[in-house]
């Protein structure tokens, strides 16, 4: 029951925060981050209406995918190693953590073999924290993003980022807005029409929605803290 109540609370937060800043709540989706959590908890969330789940390890996605109902979607949100690309392409519906041309090429080649088009996001490091993966935000990466977007078996939807690790709410919101402005700049400088911003976790999804998030990735506020 706790999981279903947590989902209700977050979905009502999405509505409330979206309306408070003049956004359509339906333009924001909720990804339930189920890493380290047993399948029973995902199925409980599914019963509560949740359909998109996120994992940060390929092996965990591989184990859980066959146990999830067919209409549940699984997103890869953790750094992807080259030797795991093949499995990731099999078991995930979207890879949000594309952080190099090399990994994009590998996903594209594998999906070509599988006759599949993979939804992807580009992982951007907006905090400057070296512990985080992703491209450093800057105009110099636009050409590479354009090249990735041109690959036949990839469908580039937008950008993904993790907020800075700080209690400074204004700084968090400012960094999220920088990412949104960067997406607008990419669209202006290229013929791309990126629309998705995967930003906001348990601790900062309100700031993310205010800054333009279209997908929040929430783990501990749904499933409880991880051990």
Ligand X SMILES: *Cc1c(COP(=O)(O)O)cnc(C)c1O
Between CA 137 and CA 123 the distance in angstroms is 10
Asked if 202 is part of the footprint of ligand X (rule: CB under 6 A), the reply reads yes
Between CA 199 and CA 175 the distance in angstroms is 10
Q: Which is nearer to ligand X, 7 or 77 (CB)?
A: 77
**Shortest CB 215 distance to ligand X, Å:** 10
Candidate segments 21-29, 128-136, 167-175, 200-208, binder of ligand X by CB under 6 A: 200-208
Asked if 58 is part of the footprint of ligand X (rule: CB under 6 A), the reply reads no
**Shortest CB 222 distance to ligand X, Å:** 8
Asked if 41 is part of the footprint of ligand X (rule: CB under 6 A), the reply reads no
Helix (H) or strand (E) holding 183: helix 169-189
Q: Which is nearer to ligand X, 50 or 56 (CB)?
A: 56
Maximum CA extent, the chain:
48
Burial of 75 (0-12, 13-18, 19+ CB in 10 A): buried
Strands 154-160 and 118-125: parallel
Asked if 112 is part of the footprint of ligand X (rule: CB under 6 A), the reply reads no
Binds ligand X by CB under 6 A, chosen from 7, 17, 33, 159? 33
Q: Which is nearer to ligand X, 79 or 146 (CB)?
A: 79
**Shortest CB 60 distance to ligand X, Å:** 12
**Structure letter (DSSP) for residue 135:** E
Binds ligand X by CB under 6 A, chosen from 34, 50, 56, 127? 56
- Which tokens go with 119? 């939804």
Cβ distance 104 to 96 under 8 Å?
no
Between CA 64 and CA 68 the distance in angstroms is 6
Size of residue set near ligand X by CB under 6 A: 14
**Shortest CB 137 distance to ligand X, Å:** 16
Asked if 117 is part of the footprint of ligand X (rule: CB under 6 A), the reply reads no
**Shortest CB 80 distance to ligand X, Å:** 12
Q: Which is nearer to ligand X, 127 or 221 (CB)?
A: 221
Question: How many CB atoms sit inside 10 A of residue 113's CB?
Answer: 10
Burial of 178 (0-12, 13-18, 19+ CB in 10 A): middle
Between CA 130 and CA 151 the distance in angstroms is 29
Binds ligand X by CB under 6 A, chosen from 77, 89, 98, 186? 77
Residues that bind ligand X (CB under 6 A): 33, 35, 56, 77-78, 162, 201-203, 217-221
């Amino acid at each position: 029951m706790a999981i279903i109540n947590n989902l209700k609370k977050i979905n009502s937060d999405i509505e409330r925060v979206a309306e408070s800043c003049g956004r359509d709540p339906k333009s924001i989706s909720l990804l339930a981050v189920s890493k380290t959590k047993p399948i029973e908890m995902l199925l409980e969330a599914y019963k509560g209406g949740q359909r998109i789940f996120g994992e940060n390890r390929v092996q965990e996605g591989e184990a859980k995918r066959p146990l999830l109902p067919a209409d549940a979607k699984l997103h890869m949100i953790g750094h992807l190693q080259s030797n795991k690309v093949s499995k990731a392409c099999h078991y995930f519906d979207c890879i949000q953590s594309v952080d190099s041309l090399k990994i994009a090429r590998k996903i594209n080649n594998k999906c070509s073999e599988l006759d599949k088009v993979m939804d992807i996001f580009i992982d951007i490091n907006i905090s400057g924290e070296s512990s985080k993966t992703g491209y450093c935000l800057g105009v110099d990466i636009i050409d590479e993003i354009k090249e990735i977007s041109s690959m036949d078996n990839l469908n580039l939807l937008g950008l993904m980022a993790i907020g800075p690790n700080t209690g400074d709410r204004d700084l968090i919101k400012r960094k999220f807005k920088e990412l949104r402005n960067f997406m607008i700049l990419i669209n202006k400088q290229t013929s791309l029409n990126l629309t998705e911003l995967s930003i906001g976790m348990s601790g900062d999804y309100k700031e993310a929605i205010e800054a333009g998030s279209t997908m929040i990735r929430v783990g501990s506020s749904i499933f409880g803290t991880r051990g």
